[in-house]
Amino acid sequence: MDSFLPHGFIFILITHFNKKELPQLCEGEPRFHGLKPPQYCVQMNNINQNKARLNLIVLMCFFYVTDESKPKPKSFAPAMTVPKIPEGDKVDFDDINRKRHEKDLSELQALIEAHFVQRKKDEEELIALVNRIEKRRAERAEQQRIRAEQEKERQARLAEEKERRELEEARKKLDEDAKKKKALTNMTQQYCGVQQRVNGKRGAKKQTEREKKKKILAERKKPLNIDHLAEDKVKEKANELWQWLMTLEAEKFDLSERLKRQKYDINLLQVRVQDHQR
């Protein structure tokens, strides 16, 4: 009986069994213990108590029997509902198969549509991300350009301020040098006047040298006319005066060093003369 009846589902083919033989048939199966004959789910038609045997129709019965002697394995699949077969009607398996295919196709179509919707959404998000990146890149380039222009303007202002300070310092220095030269000239003239009054008239040679000196000083001391000059010309004039001032300072330094050397030579010669006289 165990080999004939599979586990889980029992297919019983009952034909020409009487009411007493039916319990005896299932008595050897431990899965039916405790069940009464009406609970065997065997549908009987036209039961006649006067007949010894019963003509039964061929029935297909599905029983799900739980075997308590063995542990029931855990099922990870969702529970499936067995469709009910209507009684007395003809089952159209083609229609069921067609409906199942239609359901599968509808689910597949829904999955495809959901996939394309998600794909379109992802593409839109990607396009929006690319646009944001390009916008940020353009904003960053614009900020860098503005910063570069500001830095260029700042450097230009610093250079202009530096040039203005240099010109101002050169002008002040020229004014101071002019004042010093004027004071030196006045002192020279006063000294010459005092010397002339004390010593009287000098020789023609000394007068000639004095006149030559005055002439040289007059040639060197030229009036500074810069009122009508433009800014560029004023800058050139300032540079020219600066170079001339540097030349005068160099000549003055050379003359002072030469004077020191001559004084040293004179003192050395005087010492030698004194030693020779002794």
Tell me the pLDDT band of 74, cut-offs 50, 70 and 90: low
Phi-psi region of 46 (alpha: psi -120 to 50; beta: other; left: phi over 0): left
pLDDT of amino acid 234: 81
3-state helix, strand, coil in the chain (%, to 5): 65, 0, 35
pLDDT value at residue 86 = 56
- Residue that the structure tokens 């959901």 belong to: 114
pTM: 0.28
Scan for tokens 């239609």, then name that residue: 102
Mean pLDDT of 86-111: 81
Q: How far apart are the C-alpha atoms of 40 and 26, rounded to whole Å?
A: 9
Q: How far apart are CA 215 and CA 213, in angstroms?
A: 5
CB atoms < 10 A from the CB of 233, how many?
A: 11
State CA 233 to chain mean position distance: 51
pLDDT at residue 186, rounded to an integer: 74
Mean pLDDT, all residues of the chain:
71
Is the pLDDT reported for residue 61 higher than 50?
no
> How many CA within 13 A on the CB side of residue 63?
18
